[in-house]
Structure 1
Amino acid sequence: MNVLVLGATGTTGSRTAARLIAAGHRVRAASRAATPVPDAEPARFDWYEPATHGPALDGADRVYLIPPVGELDPAPVMLPFLRQARDAGVQRVVLLSSSAIPEGGPAAGTVHSALPALFREWAVLRPSWFMQNFTGGHPHAVSVRESRELQTATGTGRIGFVDAEDIAAVAADALTGGQAPNTDLVLTGPETLSYDDVAAVLSDVTGRPVVHHHVSHEQMRDRLAEALPPEFAELLADLDRAIAGGAEDRVTDTVERVTGRPPHAFRACLERESAYRI
């Protein structure tokens, strides 16, 4: 199979590409800088430069689809690309969305609802919040490293944090398995944790205290707006408020059902990555 992986240097794209390559599939690793990925064909791809779309699609029959980062309404950018992909011979598309965004909802939800009319084979991955938010370049991880604190408006709300390695395992199966699920797959870890719980595990694993500061919705929105467009800051603060209300307090069996093994626990993920990323 010839798989185009968008965002191939990102959190899930890099892991998905690595799994596909290890399984013997041809991978075209697409990113804005066409950054080389071992054993993959590099391709330059920018959502906002349509001239990069055709060359990236050339010969691909599967696409791992990651929406443009920070785009509240990506459909006007993504749907023309998906029509071009269909016309170029792409047979199967796997879209990365979010557990917080249902079909027809905001952001990638509109693209989600359009897939059945465009492709006979498709899947939408709807993972919960990434465990890697605390080990990579995410603002939470930076805050933990620099000031040993987390700030959220989630209150005591709980989340089924999921390991990006588990997301990649499900993505690789959805892209190359004998039959695409033609549905959405909600992905979580094996347990739900509050941010107080997260701070406690981070403290234990790193040996240095981490504190979770509870802030209001308005404080969170204003803090995010220092680095993000106001509309996107509002959306993220609203997601914190939804978590506080219990919206993400769930676990699913999707990872185990697809991969045949349980999803990784948060502590295990941190212990695997903490030596060089926390």
Structure 2
Amino acid sequence: MNSTDNKVGTTLVIGATGTTGSRVTARLATGGYRVKAASRRATTVAGAEAVRFDWHVPATFGPALDGTDRVYLVPPIGSTEPADIMLPFLDQARAAGVRRAVLLSSSAIPAGGPATGVVHQALPGLFEEWAVLRPSWFMQNFTGDHPHAHSVRTDGILLTATGEGRVGFVDAEDIAAAAVHALTDPQAPNADLVITGPQALSYADVATILTRVTGRAVVHRQLTYEQMRERLTAAGIPDEFAAMLAAMDRAIADGAEDRTTDTVQRLTGRPPRSFRAHAERELA
């Protein structure tokens, strides 16, 4: 990466303290790119200009966008209809001079689908340079600050409604690496990019790997869709969003995520990290 490329100006990273946003910000800053790190508290991030940004406070949009020509979009957390907030922001971004937008969506949500699918469908009509990143489930769900990770640490149990379905779990570091290329390469992808790790694994497979790496027994306990939805709502997740998450588990059980792609290899020139390698790095 080279910040002397005059085609790359300043990138606004929304969600700069989050799982992918923090990694995208760090990679851009390390590469010498100018970056604005946007978060609700304008948290200081090394090598970046901290700016306040809140999807629910439109007054924060203008100052955050000032002087930027590209943006990494992390949708508002927990919203089942993010387009209501995001599309007005994207109109403002285009008017402010943003030329390239890279949206973080999900492998489970196609263009025109629910939630970010509406924003995905609109993006090519708003910007000439764009990409939609559709990563599979994060490996960090098992090692970071996530209900699965907490359940593994406290009880040695993974609870899902995924049955024997398999997922191409992906390391957030690989998502960030792909995002930086999508933001900075001279030619924008202008594509829908499904991002996975190198293997499709069931949650039972994940439990086996965690057991081997940590030396502590971890098992996968299967729930029904209804049990999963009730568990999520009991944890304080709004009913509609809990139903959507439980439905994603059911789709995994039906084989919807049983795939791998070469996206990381094509964009970054290296293969994605395996779940075993991720677990050894984070937990061993």
Q: TM-score, normalised by structure 1?
A: 0.98
Question: Are 1:268 and 2:277 matched, yes or no?
Answer: yes
Question: Are 1:42 and 2:50 matched, yes or no?
Answer: yes
Between the aligned partners of 1:49 and 1:84, the Cα distance in structure 2 is 14
Between the aligned partners of 1:253 and 1:175, the Cα distance in structure 2 is 19
Aligned to 2:231: 223
Question: Are 1:250 and 2:263 matched, yes or no?
Answer: no
Q: 1:39 offset after TM fit, Å?
A: 1.2
Aligned to 2:6: none
Please point out which of 92, 113, 131 is paired with 2:139. Answer: 131
Between the aligned partners of 1:7 and 1:274, the Cα distance in structure 2 is 25
Between the aligned partners of 2:101 and 2:23, the Cα distance in structure 1 is 17
Give the secondary structure class of the aligned counterpart of 2:193: strand
Question: 4+ residue stretches of structure 1 with deviation over 4 A?
Answer: none
Please point out which of 112, 116, 130 is paired with 1:122. Answer: 130
Give the secondary structure class of the aligned counterpart of 1:48: coil
Give the secondary structure class of the aligned counterpart of 2:182: helix
Please point out which of 242, 246, 260 is paired with 1:233. Answer: 242
Q: Deviations over 1:234-260 (max 9, x none)?
A: 101100000000000000011101111
Give the secondary structure class of the aligned counterpart of 2:20: helix
Aligned to 2:268: 259
Q: TM-score, normalised by structure 2?
A: 0.96
Aligned to 2:5: none
Q: Deviations over 1:175-226 (max 9, x none)?
A: 0001111111000000000000000111111111111101111100100011
Structure 1 segments unaligned to the other structure (5+ residues): none
Out of 30-39 and 92-101, give the one that drifted further: 30-39
Q: 1:147 offset after TM fit, Å?
A: 1.2
Aligned runs of 1:103-252 on 2, under 5 Å?
Answer: 103-226=111-234, 227-252=236-261
Between the aligned partners of 1:144 and 1:43, the Cα distance in structure 2 is 35
Between the aligned partners of 1:73 and 1:122, the Cα distance in structure 2 is 21
Question: Are 1:87 and 2:103 matched, yes or no?
Answer: no
User: Which residue identity is paired with 1:20?
Assistant: L
User: Which residue identity is paired with 2:81?
Assistant: D
Query: RMSD of the TM alignment (CA)?
Result: 0.7
Question: What is the number of residues matched between the two proteins?
Answer: 275
